[in-house]
Copies of this chain bind each other. A is one copy, B any other.
Amino acid sequence: MSAIYDRVALIGLGLIAGSMAHALREKGLAREVVGYARSEETRKTAREIGLCDTVYDSAAEAVAKADLVVLAVPVGAMGAVAQDIAPHLAKGTTITDVGSVKQSVIEAVQPHLPEDVHFIPGHPLAGTEHSGPRAGFASLFENRWWLLTPLPDSPAAPVEKLVGLVTAMGAKCDRMEAAHHDLVLAVTSHAPHLIAYTMVGVADHLRRVTDEEVIQYSAAGFRDFTRIAASDPTMWRDVFLHNKEATLDILGRFTEELFTLQRAIRMGDGQQLHDYFTRTRSIRRGIIEAGQDTEAPDFGRGATSGKMP
């Protein structure tokens, strides 16, 4: 494939930027991939493993002459990074980000940017529970959604070019308004993560009184929760603080619903429980039909036991 951008600057070198570096270089989508991370240790690791063509000691040097700048730092750090790089951006540069929240990132970033660059916020729906410069891999985005939330005044050409890049990395691309994005993600990702964190926290309390049995006998349901609850603490702290309203709204609905089911258990209302569980099962079928997961009968569990010593 021929290069789409001349010089891509990755600001922040964690799981997402690292996976982008691997994908961009493997597929030849940029003539040069450069990077910067605030932590000296991260920069050192990135240099050791040859993650980028060049890792700079300042964001200013990394973004100079770049025609695409990717902000891949926690949502709460986006504003400071934008302020830091703004004076060094070349005219016509495209700036995107990979934050899990879009409205607050736009509010934090946009005011700092000069008028002659194009800010096109984005969010790849991809990740693992691992973080840091060694966590990335080129196939992370394959067949996953990459949502863009262009601003009302974004010109078409730079948006199309960025769409071309993310699809070339294997992602499926869609565009939506930032506020809508934040609500959809609160349901599909942010609230489920908080709930998983909570359940694992409850188990942690009990673990202390049952001598590690909770870990030893952790069954399928709980194991899935612990994987979710092992995600990067800084990233998720920022997600909840910056998508506060939508997350609290969904958690409110969740609690109402949970109390209804709790009451059904207490009252012994088996019919209500059965009806509810039948409905949720059909949603799973919808996800499989939408191609977001596989129907392999031992998916997850089988893969686990098969790999164990």
A residues bordering B, Cβ < 8 Å?
A: 76, 125-130, 135, 137, 139-140, 142-145, 147, 174, 183-185, 187-189, 191-207, 210, 212-231, 233-234, 236-238, 240-241, 244, 247-248, 250-251, 253-255, 257-258, 261-262, 265-266, 268, 270, 273-274, 276-281, 283-287, 290-294, 296-309
Contacts and interface: CB of A to CB of B under 8 A. Distances in A.
11 contacts: A143-B305, A184-B214, A185-B219, A187-B202, A187-B214, A188-B218, A195-B195, A216-B292, A227-B300, A233-B281, A240-B265
Contacts of A244: 265-266, 268
Contacts of A127: 219-220, 301
Given A222-B187, A229-B284, A280-B204, A139 B306 contact: yes
B137 A297 contact: yes
Contacts of A196: 221
A221 B207 CA distance: 23
Nearest to A219: B189
Given A197-B277, A261-B194, A294-B308, A147 B220 contact: no
Given A130-B297, A200-B283, A228 B220 contact: yes
B145 A217 contact: yes
Nearest to A222: B188
Given A128-B298, A268-B241, A299-B128, A291 B309 contact: yes
| Identical copies in the complex | 2
Contacts of A298: 128, 137, 139-140
A280 B234 contact: no
| Across the A-B interface, the 4 shortest Cβ-Cβ residue pairs | A230-B284, A233-B277, A192-B221, A189-B219
Main secondary structure of the interface of A (DSSP, over half): helix
A200 B285 CA distance: 12
Given A126-B301, A216-B290, A240-B273, 14 more contacts: A125-B219, A126-B220, A143-B308, A188-B218, A189-B222, A192-B222, A215-B287, A226-B280, A233-B273, A233-B281, A236-B277, A248-B262, A255-B255, A300-B300
A229 B280 contact: yes
